[in-house]
Amino acid sequence: MPNRSTDTTFQLIKSLEKSEKRNFKLYVKRNSADSNLKIIQLFDAMDKMDLYDEALLLRKNKEIAKQQLSNLKAHLYKSILQSLRLIKQEDNITIQLNEQMDFARILYNKGLYLQTLKVLDKMKEQARQYEQITYLQQILFFEKKIEALYITRSMQDRAEQLARESEMVEQQLSTISQLSNLSLQLYSWYIKNGVARNEKEGNEVKQYFESRLPARAEKLNGFYEQLYLYQSQCWVSFIRQDYLLYYRYAQKWVDLYTKYPSMMEAETAHYIKGMHNLMSAHFDVQQEKKLIEAIDQFEKFTHRKVVRQNDNYRILCFMYLYLAKINQHFLEGTFTKGLQLVSHIEEKLEEYELFIDRHRVLTFYYKIACLYFGSGDNEKAIEYLNKIINWKVDLRTDLQCYARLLHLIAHYELGNFDLLEYLIKSVYRFMGNMKNLSAVEEEMFRFLRQSFKLSPTQFKPAFEKLLQRIKQFEGNRFETRAFVYLDVISWLESKIENIRVQDIIHEKYKRKK
């Protein structure tokens, strides 16, 4: 069966732009007397394929034997990377530093120690400017090696200075490592479990964070120390559903790049992720005006050279920009207008299929389903929710649970009562097994079970009673997710007023403005 996701050479070829493909062929031909190299033939054959199918590839290219295909692909893969390295080195500080380190090693092997030290000294200045601490460690290790083996007379008190610099770098690296580990572990907890479901889980996450925080963390002033500290505080606040704190630390994260402007080039991906969290925080605390400003700021950023010339940054910007734009439509109650984004999103999801992780795809499906639900198209909402429900449950159990709950409500809206009894039991059991039932959801299930017995005249009073019961949970921090993932209150109000969900939300938005 064709497989477009597991062959690494195929993935790499599909990621190339036209200019990069042209450069690769020039590179290979320049380094070989044979213009009909088999790797170019293999490259062209794979480039023409939409899906990787090894049997088809061999059938159409008789000159390539099955026994040599594996070695040819390995050679092709390496050659593509070498050609990319030549044209990408100007854009990336770490590639530049690696190149300088290669030059230093060549000079060292020639016995030109003073020239080696000169290159290393230039590297050290560049590494400090961009806070590349791991490179500083390599440079210092190399300098110490030269000073220990050869008499360079490069300067007095050289040993003491190198020892002091090494101790400072090691201490800084240790702190950065602790904080980056903490940030990653907290993010991993969220991806696996979603937000905290109760006070006990919230306190456990907070205790986990505090017990692993380095001493005097709040007084650290290096870029990376502050970056990973703010990230960790963002994840803790978000998991605990303390959205004001989440907003506060997301803003600090983004503001860090104003304090360290050179890091925009060195750590672009972290800035993009910071803007994503800031836009999400504006949505969570219902700051519609600030969300629009942040979207505008981020959209302008996507046109910068650093983004346009980097596939990874382009893909990240697409995902986070369009998630934020959908959230804006949720806040404004313009769900039908938001549906205009769907075709472009689907086109990009297909284009970037090899590069976008499942977590993001599931999030887009849920957001799109909500757009359809809010605009009154329950059948299309169900179509997208089925894509989530039919996916293997191995991450974001909260998203899986709410997809099932919204799926149930969409069938309720369509009057599919022959399915509802089974769905109510199935969804309730699923959410119970995932330990994902909140008080709001318990109320919802209780109402849905009883709704079978209601006459048409009893529905409106029943919805009004349910609305009053659910409104009492609005101030409960650990019930917030029921209102963030699915605006239950607006849905109930729409049932009482007998209008679409988006009309209720849009009226609220207009009154708020």
Instruction: Note the pLDDT tens digit of each residue in 447-481.
Output: 888 887 778 888 889 889 989 988 888 878 777 76
Whose CA is closest to 469, among 442, 494, 487?
442
* Residue 3 · residue 354 · CB < 8 Å: no
Query: Where is 141: in which H helix or E strand?
Result: helix 133-149
Question: Cα 181 vs. chain centroid, distance in angstroms?
Answer: 17
Q: What is the pLDDT of residue 4?
A: 42
Q: At what angle do helices 397-414 and 358-375 cross, to 10 degrees?
A: 20
3-state helix, strand, coil in the chain (%, to 5): 80, 0, 20
Q: What is the pLDDT of residue 356?
A: 87
- In angstroms, the CA 324 to CA 332 distance is 12
166-171, Cβ contacts within 8 angstroms, sequence gap of 24 or more: 166/137, 166/140, 166/141, 169/133, 169/136, 169/137, 169/140, 170/137
Transcribe 72-87 into DSSP letters: HHHHHHHHHHHHHHHH
Non-local CB neighbours of 252 within 8 Å, separated by 6+ positions: 226, 230
Non-local CB neighbours of 261 within 8 Å, separated by 6+ positions: none
Q: What is the pLDDT of residue 2?
A: 35
Q: What are 400's two structure tokens?
A: 């899986």
Q: What is the pLDDT of residue 405?
A: 87
Query: What's the predicted TM-score (pTM) here?
Result: 0.81
- In angstroms, the CA 388 to CA 400 distance is 7
- In the 8-state DSSP scheme, what is residue 379? H
Q: What is the pLDDT of residue 512?
A: 79
Q: What is the pLDDT along the chain (513 residues), one digit of tens a residue?
A: 333 456 899 989 988 888 889 888 888 888 765 545 788 889 999 999 888 888 888 888 888 888 889 899 999 999 999 888 877 666 678 888 998 999 999 999 998 988 999 999 999 999 999 999 999 999 999 999 988 887 665 566 788 888 999 999 999 999 999 999 999 999 888 877 778 878 888 899 999 999 999 888 878 889 999 999 999 999 999 999 999 999 999 999 999 999 999 899 889 999 999 999 999 999 999 899 999 999 999 999 999 988 988 889 999 999 999 999 999 999 999 999 999 999 999 999 999 988 888 888 999 999 999 999 999 999 999 999 999 998 875 656 778 888 888 999 999 899 888 888 888 888 888 887 776 677 888 888 888 888 877 788 888 898 899 899 888 888 787 777 677 777 888 998 998 998 999 999 999 888 877
